[in-house]
Chains A and B, each alone.
Chain A
Amino acid sequence: MQRAIELFWERFTGYSGEVILCVSLREAMQRTVALTRKIGTDTVGLSRHVPVPEALSNAGLHVMHEPPTQVDDVPVVGITAPWGLVAETGSLVIHDHDPGERLWSLVCDVHIAILDHPRIFNDLDELFTEDSAHLSTGLCLISGPSRTADIEKKLVLGMHGPRRVIALIVGVD
């Protein structure tokens, strides 16, 4: 497992994603609050899959649960709880059929992903031979911030999706 996490770390950060290992869920939530404040906002979009959501509201953050329907309603930070990661490609595995998981990982400038004891797949073959409900309802692999190189191959982060993706991983030490 150690090797898989190291590989995930190397590849996810190689694509400009950020990784923070946390010893407990409590630490992950504290760090989420601190990151949100540092970004300069107190409103977050929150997927219903994120554990202990009250940790955020208790810390004084304004929490939106319903995904936005208007462009002006999009907060700067969206928080999701991916259920797995793939070491080979440095990818978060999102439960894409859930509107909260999908939209909060997509429409905000910053996507914070809280992975509490995630399923760890060494490679894509392991993932796609998995007999899981997630495979039958849909998934999305996210490997860092959205990007484009359509103008003379110059890389620009944050094309249509988040400019920053921060993965807080609990329970993999």
Chain B
Amino acid sequence: MAEFRRGAKNLRRNAKTAARRPELGAVISRATDHAIIRRREVMQEIDFAAQRRRIQQLRQNATQNLPGLLDRFKARVEAKGFHFHMAVDTNAARRIVIDVAKRHTVQTVVKSKSMLGEEVGIREALEQAGIQVTETDLGEYIVQLNHEPPSHLTAPAVHLSTGEVGEILYKQAGIGPFEKPEQMAVAVRQFMRTRFFNADMGMAGANALIAETGAMLMMSNEGNIRLVTSLPRLLVVLTSVDKLVERMADLAPLIRVIPKNATGQRITNYCTVLSAPRQGQEVHIVVVNNNRMAAAGDPVFGQAIRCVRCAACINVCPVFRTIGGHAYGTVYVGPMGIVLTNALHLDPHARMLSDACTLCDACAQVCPAGIDLPGLILHIRSSGNPRLIDRFKAWVVGMTYAGAGRFKAAFWALRLFKRLFAAGYRRLWRMLGWTGRRGVPRVAGKTFDRMWDDDAKGD
């Protein structure tokens, strides 16, 4: 990650860095191809269109009624003995969690993977308060050791090869040296067990908050979330207001679709519905807003709050597959990252992320919440104040495509220009910034119409 700079404003620079590392794209493509192929297979078992309608509907109902659902959820969880906290923003979330930890003289925390945790920087805040935090998800632990953020929503270490992981475990934690993932996983399991049993506090996220019953859904494959939520006597659930759903019945399509969409798994290995504090355990639920309520009411960005964080849009995104997650410079990456970072105002230069899109529509096809990701990205791109060169490019394209006559004339001129000034032709593309990493497009000798006519005559 050292090569990549944080902040959306570094996207272009970071993308160039990523493009200089073709092995990065290869590792990411291998991993995401696997998820895409498995997804296609397992989706045949369900009617995706019908399930998508259900999820879109239940998420829409929830996002349009967040304050009401929040009140119901709060009343239910407090009645059961959970401690409820509302955090308006990042600072409030950090303050609440650190207060709870300090009141219990917490020295060690075992934590499960949570994008919200990344968003509010909770690990760093706890560490600054002198508390040792161990990420317990294998991928997240690897990136913690490597001092970098996760590069993908569900696969934090997707950018690292097996060899690189072995080296990180050995150099940073003295585990190994091992060559095989099985050996590494066994060694991390053993090492982590002691941490689970001895931790003063557990910290987890939630996949859904159910207003009707005051229960929380937590899903994990590794079993670390169950350990984090079971063994320590003090538990903090750090979650966000957009995770609210109305009814228990809403869990069925979420549990059914999220793992299929994310990794092509039929179900996540452990799906826990935590409905009451466990015997002898004190549980604090911290619900973070961070602009979500306002975004939910926004006529354009409201739909973005329906996102269920399945990461399918990231897996299929050709830009992500080429540059990886770190190049975005933001917590949320890929198509959902572009949209959420803008909707929640998480970065002052969030608009620049909209450049990381080819508008291929692949993300919209797989989104189970029915979010029009390309439409929103286009909206972001068209807002704000584009650079002069980009305005010029848009003007040229707009003029060229304004009518059949202009289109033909433009390409006639281009062909002529190329014939007369071959070197200038290449320079023109370079100047437009389109050929830094790819070849100059060839202009066909004849137009398509002409080829068609000639073919027909030949017949």
Contact = CB atoms under 8 A, between A and B. Distances in A.
A139 B276 CA distance: 11
A159 B189 contact: yes
Contact of B189 (A127, A142, A160): A160
Contacts of A107: 227
B263 A149 contact: yes
Interface in B134-153: 136-139, 142
Contacts, number: 167
Contacts of A103: 230
Contacts of A69: 197
SS of B interface (majority): helix
Interface residues of A, number: 50
A141 B138 CA distance: 21
A140 interface: yes
Contact of B273 (A91, A138, A156, A159): A138
B305 to A, nearest CB: 23
A9 B29 CA distance: 33
A159 B223 contact: yes
Summarize A's interface: helix, strand, loop or mixed: loop
A51 interface: no
A153 B250 CA distance: 30
Contact of A136 (B184, B192, B256, B275): B275
A139 B255 CA distance: 14
Interface residues of B, number: 59
9 contacts: A96-B272, A96-B274, A123-B252, A124-B251, A128-B249, A128-B251, A138-B274, A140-B273, A152-B162
Interface string A136-166: 1111111111111111111010111110000
Contacts of B136: 160
A97 interface: yes
A11 to B, nearest CB: 6
A162 to B, nearest CB: 8
Contacts of B278: 97, 99, 102
Contacts of B267: 89-91, 141, 143
Contacts of B128: none
Of A99, A123, A145, A161, chain B has the most CB atoms within 10 Å of the CB of A161
A141 B275 contact: no
Nearest to A124: B252
